[in-house]
Amino acid sequence: SQTIHQWPATLVQPVGSPLSLECTVEGTSNPNLYWYRQAAGRGLQLLFYSVGIGQISSEVPQNLSASRPQDRQFILSSKKLLLSDSGFYLCAWSVQGFNQPQHFGDGTRLSIL
């Protein structure tokens, strides 16, 4: 069966520090991969999605970037964190194609001080 791993579960970082969140998927090949964020009091917002290695699409302009160095690895990064980057970050995967449900990891709670 397929599984998705996200780490760390919680992270506290100072403003201006770099960020790297990692997500890996097991049990499937060539998945679509996604990064979402939930800011306090708001719904889930799609940040990035990827349909293949090295293929990244950004949904909203922001202080973050994403990379997909391997088929089942998706990384969310920042060179310098802002206070507004605080939130709950979720990675998800889906089978390629239309009308495929997305399956989420357990998320990372990021607090910027």
Partner 1 sequence: DQQVKQNSPSLSVQEGRISILNCDYTNSMFDYFLWYKKYPAEGPTFLISISSIKDKNEDGRFTVFLNKSAKHLSLHIVPSQPGDSAVYFCAGVDSGGSNYKLTFGKGTLLTVNP
Question: What is the distance between the alpha carbons of residues 27 and 77, in angstroms, rounded to a whole number?
Answer: 25
Give the binding-site size for partner 1 (rule: CB under 8 A).
24
Question: What is the distance between the alpha carbons of residues 107 and 14, in angstroms, rounded to a whole number?
Answer: 20
Q: How far is the CB of 16 from partner 1 (least distance, A)?
A: 28
What is the rounded end-to-end Cα distance, in angstroms, of the chain? 38
Is residue 7 at the binding interface for partner 1, with CB under 8 A as the rule?
A: no
Q: How many residues make up the chain in this entry?
A: 113
Only segment of 14-22, 62-70, 72-80, 95-103 that touches partner 1 (CB under 8 A) = 95-103
Is residue 40 at the binding interface for partner 1, with CB under 8 A as the rule?
A: no
User: Which residue in 6, 24, 66, 87 binds partner 1 (CB under 8 A)?
Assistant: 6
